[in-house]
Chain A
Amino acid sequence: KAGVTQTPRYLIKTRGQQVTLSCSPISGHRSVSWYQQTPGQGLQFLFEYFSETQRNKGNFPGRFSGRQFSNSRSEMNVSTLELGDSALYLCASSLTGTWGETQYFGPGTRLLVL
């Protein structure tokens, strides 16, 4: 089975711009979660989607949003980029996101905001 894939792998943007990141889960997985990884804050949960619905949200400003499509692929959008948004954005998938399930991670998209 192919693993979780994320595109693009690298992005450079300037402050004020917006960006969209994409995640394709493992085939058959319907839950997709997003995490932000930075040297200072570590790995932080952004949100989780299942069947095109956001079920869980972390403590991030409204500039961070996402969506999920009927094929379970997910996108994450960050508007009005700030320097502090520079990070590795990880996507993870699991079957249904229920208790006890393992989340499988993608390679990440490294975003640099200048």
Chain B
Amino acid sequence: AQRVTQPEKLLSVFKGAPVELKCNYSYSGSPELFWYVQYSRQRLQLLLRHISRESIKGFTADLNKGETSFHLKKPFAQEEDSAMYYCALLIYNQGGKLIFGQGTELSVKP
């Protein structure tokens, strides 16, 4: 079965500390993975996707097929990073659908 797991519901760090939001997936095909972020009172927006291999707002994520993981990392957290983060797996079967993890709330304290 296709599944995305984000084991931490809440992650609290201090400003300047490193951050790692965990994401594990279960999928028999070739995965296409995304991180979406939802800031307070804003819409869900794309943060980054594994295919692009880019860094957005200092965040990076590497797909590890051996460990079936796509963890999101940032070396130095900022207060403005506080938000809900969702890891999502795109399944394509005559049309794409996203399978989301439960989300991790990141709280960056001053």
Q: Which residues of A contact B (CB under 8 A)?
A: 3, 31, 33, 35, 42-45, 48, 50, 55-56, 58, 90, 92, 94, 97-108
Q: Which residues of B contact A (CB under 8 A)?
A: 32, 34, 36, 43-46, 49, 51, 86, 88, 90, 92-103
Count of A-B residue pairs with CB < 8 Å: 64
The answer to whether A98 and B102 touch (CB under 8 A), given A90-B44, A106-B43, A108-B43, is no
Using CB atoms, name the residue of chain A closest to B95: A55
Distance from A111 Cβ to chain B, minimum over Cβ atoms (Å): 16
In the bound assembly, the distance between CA atoms of A45 and B86 in angstroms comes to 14
Grouping DSSP codes into helix (H, G, I), strand (E, B) and loop, the B interface class, with mixed when no group exceeds half, is strand
Residue from the list A3, A33, A35, A56 in contact with B93, Cβ < 8 A: A56
Distance from B28 Cβ to chain A, minimum over Cβ atoms (Å): 15
Q: Which residues of A contact B86 (CB under 8 A)?
A: 43
* Extra A-B contacts (16), CB below 8 Å, given A31-B95, A103-B46: A33-B98, A35-B100, A43-B98, A45-B98, A48-B95, A48-B96, A56-B94, A56-B96, A56-B97, A99-B92, A100-B90, A102-B34, A103-B90, A103-B96, A105-B36, A105-B44
